[in-house]
Amino acid sequence: MDNLFQRYPAIECCVQDINTALELMIDTYKNGGKLLVCGNGWSAADSEHIVGELMKGFMLRRNVDDDRIPEYLRKNLQGALPAISLPSQSAILSDFINDVGPGNDVCTAFIWLWQ
């Protein structure tokens, strides 16, 4: 993380918040949870990309060691850090808005649905 802050000094004001978010993500994965990522507009596209990187190796390859999976697949698969991009859930989003109503808290409903 120090390298990140050195490369982008403009985010120095956010160091504590970024470190807190990182610790929350680490704790989530240590406890078997998944990351829910969201965004609006271009940030929605970013959330899709972030989830894609988490679901495969990003900087380091995460090997799959499950012997139940044939070897030829294990060589090509990578272990995932479970994550869901909420903007890509258009079917449940439209169902919820249609059946429950647009005035309800869709984001809160998504969080409870994906626990």
Domain range list for the chain: 1-33, 34-113
Q: Which two tokens stand for residue 52?
A: 């894609």
Specify the pLDDT at position 90: 78
**Predicted TM-score (pTM) above 0.85:** no
The contacts of residue 12 (CB under 8 Å, 6+ apart) are: 5
Collect the ranges in the chain with pLDDT lower than 70: 101-107, 110, 114-115
CA-CA distance, 28 to 36, in Å (whole number)? Answer: 11
Cα 111 to the center of its chain, rounded Å: 13
